[in-house]
Structure 1
Amino acid sequence: MRDLPNLTENFLGHAIAALNTEDFAGLFFQWLTRCFEIDNTTMLAYFQNRAPQLLFSHAHEPRVHDRIVSDYLTGAYLLDPFHALHIERAPAGVYRMRDIAPDQFTRNEYHAVYYQETTLCDELAYVGCPAPGVSVHVCLGRDASSGRAFSARDMERALRIAPIACALIERQWSGLRSTGDFRDSDVSAALRRRIMSDHAIALTERQAEIALLVLKGHSSGSIAMRLGISPQTVKVFRKQLYRKCAISSQAELFSLMMPLLSTLEF
């Protein structure tokens, strides 16, 4: 029987054989591209006690990763919906950006200033939890190269192979380590300290918490549901926040807060 070198199973076999070597990530991506059409990948490890680690990346469109080191890894990741999965300790599986993003994500400044510039038009991620306090996200995207979102058939295939993909992720990166605990409250507390030291603005705990959620792309209604307060109360806190910061828009809030994210100490 004639061997068919492009069979998906062959690429899976190569990836399995490369486990615990530097060749794994590239071969893993090659297997995934045989399962469904993908324009790019970004493989990241998130930790409790430090910034994310870029494990592997590949894209034909250079804008996808143009600012990942200068912007994303230095602080913008704190506003990313996939990082929110890490904080919330989401179980292993496949997640699509449009399903996990806050309700106003595509209208917030992080999306306009950073995410939109990557040209990504759709993205999903296989999430594995290889060690306590560590999650590895293998993000797979569609960008300006194709300009097409993942189809229902693509998502069906992505879900079908999720148990294999997540198991491989957890085996490959089982040696990663993290310590401590990390929550959104740690970010908002660090933001309070930094904005006080840099701008002499004294925010309350609740004001800083709401500032962070606004920056992530949550509407007042979404914030109210997360915090267990009324939308009207959220609006009052937002007005107080804007008044203290001498600003009048989300864009100004982003301009004020974004430079601080890269300097936070947890």
Structure 2
Amino acid sequence: MSTDLEALFSAFDGTVGKVSMSDAEFGETFRRMMAALVRFDYVVVFAYRGKERPIDLFSTFDAEEHVVFVTLYQAGPYLLDPFYHTARERRQGVMRMRELAPDRFFSSEYYRTYYVQTGLAEEIGFFVNAEDDITIVLSLMRREETGPFPSGEFAILRKVEPLVASMVRHYWAGLASRFDAQLATHGKRRQRREQDGSLGASDAVWRDLNLTSREAAIVELVLQGHSSESIGLKLSISTGTVKVHRRNVYRKLGISSQTQLLSLYLKHFQ
């Protein structure tokens, strides 16, 4: 795809003299900028802060697609999303989903039961760190029939990333108050669970099911799509030890499959 300079300049012209924009206004400006540079099917923008439920800032989905990509995602699947974990790590730049995903992501229960519903061939995200531990992720998505982003288009996105990051920090500043308001509506119990910095991510999810911190860390990595070998490397334990912990967890929870494990995980956040 060749760059459409006229469309690009027109998108920039819409920002001239504007100190602020609504979510929809800036989201549409971003969409028009990207459409002048590369081909894609969808745009979605989420803001992440720590372990909290992400805030959807902008998307181009129709009503049915919005249910899968936004409503269902916010209900729990975001906790297993490689983009969510990358945002929590405060990494910045333009990154492909397939580069961030664990080694067994595309055969994981999360992928089979949720992600496959999106029908995506590829997703690329602009990861922009803002103030108050907030990371804003602007995703460009291509459906299976469209195919992955060519390397040339990905190179263009990397070149435009500094400009996008600067604009995002300006027009999507001050999101902390929106996260605070969201926490207030979800009740004190949910707030304590998400904000308790003394607990690891896995403990915060599984403590009500009486898993040890080691067991919780392992099953969360399993659900994210890590193999036993990958988990062993991340936690500095042997593959055999990982498998023993997995069997113990299944016995303790009275389950026999990763499908049941995922169901328990997501139910905990609803």
Q: If the length of structure 2 is used for normalisation, what is the TM-score?
A: 0.84
Contact kept in structure 2, 1:63 and 1:118, CA below 8 Å = no
- Which residue in 2 is equivalent to 1:78? 79
Structure 1 stretches lacking a partner, 5+ long? 196-201
Counterparts of 2:14 and 2:55, CA distance in 1 = 24
Q: How big is each residue's C-alpha offset from its partner over 1:5-27, in whole Å with a ceiling of 9 and x where there is no partner?
A: 83423323324655521111111
Q: Deviations over 1:129-182 (max 9, x none)?
A: 1213100000110015x4311111111111111111111111211212268978
Q: CA deviation at 1:84?
A: 0.2
Aligned to 1:150: 149
What corresponds to 2:141 in structure 1?
141
Q: Residues 131 and 114 of structure 1: is their aligned pair in 2 closer, same or farther, counting only changes over 3 Å?
A: same
Q: Percent identity?
A: 32
Rate the CA distance shift 1:220–1:6 in 2: closer, same or farther, 3 A.
same
Change (3 A) 1:148 1:72: same
Residue in 1 that maps onto 2:229 = 221
Equivalent position of 1:107 in the other structure: 107
Which letter maps to 2:49?
F
- 1:258 equivalent among 236, 241, 266: 266
Q: Does 1:58 align with 2:60?
A: yes
Q: Is the 8 A contact 1:127 1:138 kept in 2?
A: yes
CA distance in 2, matches of 1:189, 1:127: 26
In 1, distance between residues paired with 2:133 and 2:171?
16
Q: Secondary structure at the match of 1:258?
A: helix
CA distance in 1, matches of 2:206, 2:155: 43
| Corresponding letter in the other structure for 1:126 | F
Whether the 8 Å contact between 2:82 and 2:97 is mirrored in structure 1 is: yes
- SS of the residue corresponding to residue 95 of structure 2 reads strand
Structure number with the higher helix fraction is 2
* Aligned AA (1:219): S
Give the length in aligned residue pairs: 250
Look up the match of 1:203. Answer: 211
Q: TM-score, normalised by structure 1?
A: 0.85
Q: Is the counterpart of residue 190 in structure 1 residue 238 in structure 2?
A: no
The AA in structure 2 aligned to 1:47 is: R
Question: Alignment partner of 1:203: what SS?
Answer: coil
Alpha-carbon spacing, 1:87–1:237, altered in 2? closer, same or farther (3 Å): same
The CA RMSD measured in Å over matched residues stands at: 2.4
Counterpart CA distance in 2 for 1:208 and 1:125 is: 28
Q: CA deviation at 1:256?
A: 2.4
Q: Please state whether the residue corresponding to 1:149 is helix, strand or coil.
A: coil
Taking the aligned partners of 1:221 and 1:256, their CA distance within structure 2 comes to 24
Cα shift at 1:126: 0.5
Question: Quick one: distance in 1 between partners of 2:52 and 2:105?
Answer: 25
Q: Is the 8 A contact 2:103 2:226 kept in 1?
A: yes
| Aligned 8 A contact 2:203 2:212 in 1 | no
Aligned-partner Cα distance in 2 for 1:118–1:259: 21
Gaps of 5+ in 2: 181-193
Q: Partners of 1:102 and 1:239 in 2: how far apart? A: 21
Partner secondary structure for residue 125 of structure 2: strand
Determine helix, strand or coil for the equivalent of 2:237. Answer: coil
Conserved 8 A contact 1:223-1:234: yes
Counterpart Cα distance in 1 of 2:48 and 2:73: 12
